[in-house]
Amino acid sequence: MFKAVKWIVASAMAVSVASAAVCDDIKELKIGLLPIPAESPEALAQSFQNMADNLGKRLGVPAKIFVSPSFNALIESLASKRLDMAFFGAEGYVAMKEQGMQVVPIAKAIHFGRVHYKSSIIVRADSGINSVADLKGKTFAFVAPTSTSGGLAPLYMLHQNGVATADLKRILYTGNQEASMLAVKNGKVDAAAVADHYWEYWKKAGLISFDSYDDKSDKIVNGDLKIIAAMSVPEMPMVVRSDLDKDSIEKLKSGLLSLPEGTLGKTGFAGDISGFAPTADSDYTIVEDMKKIGAKNSAKK
């Protein structure tokens, strides 16, 4: 056992170090998330709390996760400094920049072992549609105009293949990825765009069937659906307010990049994130390009 005097000295040093670590701006580290359709806000917050605690310790402050009801609520909370960090999609980060918000991407998720995911344009396997060019005169389901994988990326792919939205027979906005996939499967539309995150989820849920999905060749093997085009999209960034002091930003960044294995658990959305990788604003230039193309290629009413 340590002698009493050594314990007192060690305790005093620990208090001193903890006090020195406290950020002048942050009394409690507040991290915002967007809701996930398949999870309750409470479960989602709990799944990220260990990550928050780990980052809070680096700053010497308590930490808490907040699930915002909407993207607008999330950015308003960042702008008013009710949040210090937030985790959301690539399009959201670009949108924040466009609105003049001062935020810095410090890391991006490693999701299913990748630092990117893919937006895939899908059709029924028995549809006879084999290319994007074949979609002229067909119906198409987008998730939402602001969705990266279900809105911006498919507009970009259509444009790259010489198909304008005016060439489509009808456009539908479904509001979520699963609804877009089911609209194709059930014959409500000819094609849709979805993120490839969801193939295994939907297979396990019995919504679709297939033998395997090959990320490299963009093939669904022996499935109800097939992919006729796909493109990579940068994974979700974790951003911080740029008005935080540089030391705190660096501590948060290094904390994310060195999270212990298993910090995010094994279940739900967080359970599929194994950690975080370095990122920079330049990683999201492709999303800015998508938005420019989307503005040109959007449907005219």
pLDDT of res. 211: 97
- Cβ-Cβ contacts under 8 Å for 255 (sequence gap 6 or more): 54, 55, 58
pLDDT of res. 225: 98
pLDDT of res. 201: 83
CATH for the stretch 117-234: 3.40.190.10
Same fold, 4-114+235-289 and 117-234: yes
Strand ranges across the sheet with 237-241: 63-67, 29-33, 85-87, 237-241, 103-111, 273-277
Indicate the domain borders of the chain.
Answer: 4-114+235-289, 117-234
Provide block-wise average pLDDT over 10 residues at a time, the chain (301 residues).
33 36 72 86 94 97 95 90 94 89 95 92 98 98 90 94 95 93 97 93 92 94 97 95 95 96 86 93 92 68 41
Q: Can you say how many angstroms the Cα of residue 29 is from the centroid of all Cα atoms in its chain? A: 21
pLDDT of res. 5: 31
Would residue 218 be called left, alpha or beta, if left means φ above 0 and alpha means ψ between -120 and 50 degrees?
Answer: left
- Cβ-Cβ contacts under 8 Å for 263 (sequence gap 6 or more): 50, 51, 54, 275
The CATH class of the 4-114+235-289 domain is: alpha beta
